Chain A
Amino acid sequence: MNTEYIKSLLDKYFEAQTTIEEEKELSNYFNSGSAIDPRFNQVAVLFKVFKAESEIKSQADFVAPTIVRNVEVKKEAKVFTLQRYLKIAAAVLVLALSSFLVVKYTLNNTVEETPKIEVANYIEVTDPDEAMAYTEDALKILAKVFNTSQTGVDAGMKVIDETPVIGSRQ
């Protein structure tokens, strides 16, 4: 290539007046591998540096986002840590314990049902003797309840009586 032409291109290049095509010509000339006019040795290095840098390639395989997205979803599904298991176990335990306590409390507080005199609900008693018998039965049940209560009160009073009073004189 005509060295004078190259010189004129270089003049334009350093004045930032060259077109892209002219810059490609310069790059091709200095990177052709053929003998270069020794006057251009130093500037040739500049174009060799540009050429070398333009050939740098990434070693990474960039992944298309579709694949990235799928991988992320799969990863998310697999994340089931020990902490998560412990949380679930604790929740189940609390639920079971509270259920147990509720059932126990309910059973302890169930009132023994009083025997019903079902007949009275359905039969109109007209015979005085029969009515007397029913009344006696009813009173017996009532007495039984009172007796139970009385026994409880007596027992309570007995405990109170036997309890030593602090500071009292014997």
Chain B
Amino acid sequence: MQNENIIREVMKYKDKLYRFALKMLGNEFDAEDVVQEVMVKVWQKSDQLELIDNKQAWCMTVTRNLSIDKIRGRKSTNASAIEDYHYLTDTKPTPDIQTEDKESLSIVMKTLNSLPDNQKEIIHLRDIEGYTYKEIAEITGYSEEQVKVNLFRARQKLKHELRNFTY
């Protein structure tokens, strides 16, 4: 019963877990696998999870670790699979974006893709998922200072690349 309650709670943010896994793995099937594995881990560790305040951050950390394991597995089995590392390595624009400014969209996507992995990760957690610096530090294992520095660098690069940014 206790397990089921925790699973129910985790199910509420399954899409966040999925997006994070998708960002890291760049593959829907692998991302779904990872989220399912997270659910199993949650079930197995429900006793410990009961004592954790921020269950969502814990689940995000597990998602991150499982995704990294999957990437390492890919590297060992197929060196070329590293190209699939990130969701945004696909330079095609995200289809759901309604904009007539295709050029700006292309620049934005290209710039986001060109960020170093840790900066992509932090941009995702902050700008897409809306986590605090403290939560990002908890999820990634970086210090809060490292999180701030990397976020600053990523945003500076975005500002620099948006050449027509003339507000």
Which residues of A lie under 8 Å from residue B15 when comparing CB positions? 56-58
A14 near B32: Cβ-Cβ < 8 Å: no
Residue interface bits A27-70, CB-to-B below 8 A is 1, else 0: 00000000001011111111011101111111110111110100
Size band of the interface chain A makes with B:
35 or more
Distance between A9 CB and nearest chain B CB, rounded to angstroms: 11
Check: A16 CB closer than 8 A to any chain B CB.
yes
Max chain A Cβ within 10 angstroms of own Cβ: one of B28, B31, B94, B107? B94
B109 near A49: Cβ-Cβ < 8 Å: yes
Of all chain A residues, the one with the shortest Cβ separation from B112 is A49
Which of B54-62, B67-75, B76-84, B122-130 is found at the contact surface with chain A?
Answer: B122-130
Interface size on B, residues (CB 8 A): 50
B40 near A65: Cβ-Cβ < 8 Å: yes
Of all chain A residues, the one with the shortest Cβ separation from B103 is A42
Which residue of A10, A24, A55, A60 is within 8 Å of B96 (Cβ)?
A: A55
Residue interface bits B112-156, CB-to-A below 8 A is 1, else 0: 100000000000101111101000000000000000100110011
Query: For the complex, what is the distance from the CA of A40 to the CA of B167, rounded to whole Å?
Result: 6
Binding site for B on A (CB under 8 A): 6-7, 10, 13-16, 20, 23-24, 37, 39-46, 48-50, 52-60, 62-66, 68
